[in-house]
């Protein structure tokens, strides 16, 4: 326990120190939100990949496996492909716009109404993402150090807020590079040892195959629509992710954006593929874990040797905090760019905007902290906000970039129709992974029909 505590304290001091260091060079919001657009391929690839390996994939993996079985692999494959497609097709095109946020692109391509809808949903999604990471951080501290959950959340919240508040995007990227290395080392060392502890792959397959009424390894046990939905919901997310758009705009140029997208897909598949295997192996030890979010902390403390458990916990904490800081800075960027200072002709001093930007990080973090208590597990929240954002944003982004005839009315009502359809299906009890596909279809149909009508 003492070793766990020492490593955790050292890690917190490291990331807080990074936040303080990079705060010294911040002079305006261009530095705070985009790091002056000076980043190369490796740092952008790392920050793209690790930001999606946080509470959602790391802490939520057992929750996904318990709910969807082997079909969970479609999420890993889908997101990896999504990053690669982002690099090949979307990244270079977006970087040429020289903007700051996803909604800002929508506003420039279409109008303020569509921009507002997507900015509003994107802001909610980023707050939800931060809530996921705070919840995951709380689970780690709660299970490892036996700290009451509320205090565990407060500790995690305070650390992330501090260095995000100070260093903005520059500190986010710097810590993400370090965290990518820590996570890779942690999972690579963990996999063979936890496999040996479980009695080898043969025993793992034998034990796990009995789960979910013997349907764990049945790829289509919950239907073809679910499997396709799980693939698509992640395969398209890199295209509509506000975090990714911010990183593309922070790239040095279009060439960097392209390569970084491709490399981030490779990084993601390797790391999360290993996390996926560890999750399946872990079901041998915890087949009926009451709270799936506690899986990795329990595995580190109860199954692994202390030295490796410490490294794994550092890996989980690194992944979670990288996602939390990303969500906070992205949400603040959307708030400032698309709401507070939407009209760039306003005469607001850069000093005042920078001050409000930092205050918004604290405010958004506090809201996320509260939301962390609403959803019972990480997996539930991840699937829901990904599904809703995809329903409102995918159609106008893709058609807006690749179809010149896309009209303002088509983009607006397509986005609105997709979002309302998704919410209606969710309220009726549909799984978010299943409700996303029909919602996107509605959005695309409405957009295309109205665009043809307006152009005709």
For residue range 295-316, list pLDDT tens digits in order: 888 888 888 888 888 888 877 7
- End-to-end Cα separation, the chain, in angstroms: 70
Spatial separation of the C-alpha atoms in residues 64 and 315, rounded to whole Å: 20
221 assigned to some structural domain:
yes
pTM for the whole structure: 0.86
173 assigned to some structural domain:
yes
Q: Helices in 51-148 by DSSP H: which ranges?
A: 61-68, 73-85, 91-95, 102-109, 112-145
In Å, what is the CA distance from 17 to each residue of 158, 258, 335, 338, 454? 14, 31, 26, 31, 55
> Coil, strand, or helix at residue 251?
strand
**Domain coverage including residue 319:** 2-379
Signed CA dihedral, 365, 368, 370, 376: sign only: negative
What CATH number is associated with residue 72? 1.20.1730.10
Looking at residue 318, its pLDDT comes to 73
Q: What confidence category does residue 456 fall into, taking pLDDT thresholds of 50, 70 and 90?
A: low
Looking at residue 346, its pLDDT comes to 60
Spatial separation of the C-alpha atoms in residues 339 and 101, rounded to whole Å: 12
141 assigned to some structural domain:
yes
204 assigned to some structural domain:
yes
295 assigned to some structural domain:
yes
242 assigned to some structural domain:
yes
422 assigned to some structural domain:
no
Q: Give the other-Cβ count within 10 Å of 213's Cβ.
A: 8
Helices and strands, counts by H and E, the chain: 21, 0
Calculated CA dihedral for residues 176, 372, 149, 180, nearest 10 degrees: -10
pLDDT, tens digit, 9 for 90 and up, residues 129-152: 888 788 777 777 777 777 787 888
Spatial separation of the C-alpha atoms in residues 369 and 357, rounded to whole Å: 18
431 assigned to some structural domain:
no
Domains in the chain, number: 1
């Amino acid at each position: 326990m003492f070793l766990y505590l020492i490593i955790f304290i050292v890690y917190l001091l490291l990331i807080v120190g990074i936040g303080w260091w990079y705060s010294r060079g911040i002079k305006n919001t261009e530095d705070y939100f985009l790091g002056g657009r000076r980043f190369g391929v490796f740092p952008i690839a790392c920050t793209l990949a690790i930001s999606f390996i946080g509470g959602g994939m790391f802490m939520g993996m057992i929750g996904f496996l318990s709910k969807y079985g082997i079909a969970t692999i479609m999420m890993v494959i889908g997101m990896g492909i999504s990053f690669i497609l982002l690099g090949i097709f979307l990244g270079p095109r977006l970087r040429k716009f020289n903007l700051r946020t996803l909604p800002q692109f929508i506003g420039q391509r279409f109008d303020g109404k569509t921009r507002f809808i997507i900015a509003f949903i994107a802001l909610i999604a980023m707050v939800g993402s931060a809530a996921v990471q705070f919840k995951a951080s709380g689970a780690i501290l709660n299970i490892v150090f036996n700290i009451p959950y509320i205090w565990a959340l407060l500790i995690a919240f305070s650390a992330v807020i501090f260095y995000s508040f100070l260093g903005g995007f520059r500190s986010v990227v710097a810590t993400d590079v370090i965290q990518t290395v820590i996570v890779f080392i942690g999972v690579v060392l963990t996999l063979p040892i936890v496999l040996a502890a479980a009695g080898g792959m043969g025993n793992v397959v034998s034990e796990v195959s009995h789960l979910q009424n013997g349907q764990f390894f049945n790829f289509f046990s919950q239907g073809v629509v679910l499997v396709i939905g799980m693939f698509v919901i992640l395969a398209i997310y890199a295209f509509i992710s506000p975090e990714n758009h911010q990183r593309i705009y922070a790239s040095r140029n279009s060439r960097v954006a392209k390569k970084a997208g491709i490399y981030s897909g490779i990084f993601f598949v390797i790391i999360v593929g290993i996390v996926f295997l560890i999750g399946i192996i872990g079901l041998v030890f915890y087949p009926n874990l009451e709270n799936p979010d506690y899986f990795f902390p329990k595995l580190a403390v109860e199954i692994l040797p202390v030295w490796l458990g410490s490294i794994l916990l550092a890996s989980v904490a690194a992944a979670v905090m990288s996602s939390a800081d990303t969500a906070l800075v992205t949400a603040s960027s959307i708030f400032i760019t698309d709401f507070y200072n939407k009209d760039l002709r306003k005469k607001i001093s850069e000093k005042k905007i920078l001050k409000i930007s930092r205050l918004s990080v604290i405010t958004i973090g506090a809201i996320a902290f509260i939301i962390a208590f609403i959803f019972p597990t990480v997996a539930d929240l991840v699937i829901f906000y990904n599904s809703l954002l995809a329903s409102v944003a995918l159609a106008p982004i893709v058609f807006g970039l690749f179809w010149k005839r896309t009209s303002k009315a088509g983009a607006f009502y397509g986005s609105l129709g997709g979002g309302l359809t998704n919410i209606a299906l969710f309220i009726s009890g549909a799984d978010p992974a299943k409700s996303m596909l029909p919602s996107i279809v509605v959005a695309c149909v409405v957009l295309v029909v109205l665009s043809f009508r307006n152009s005709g």
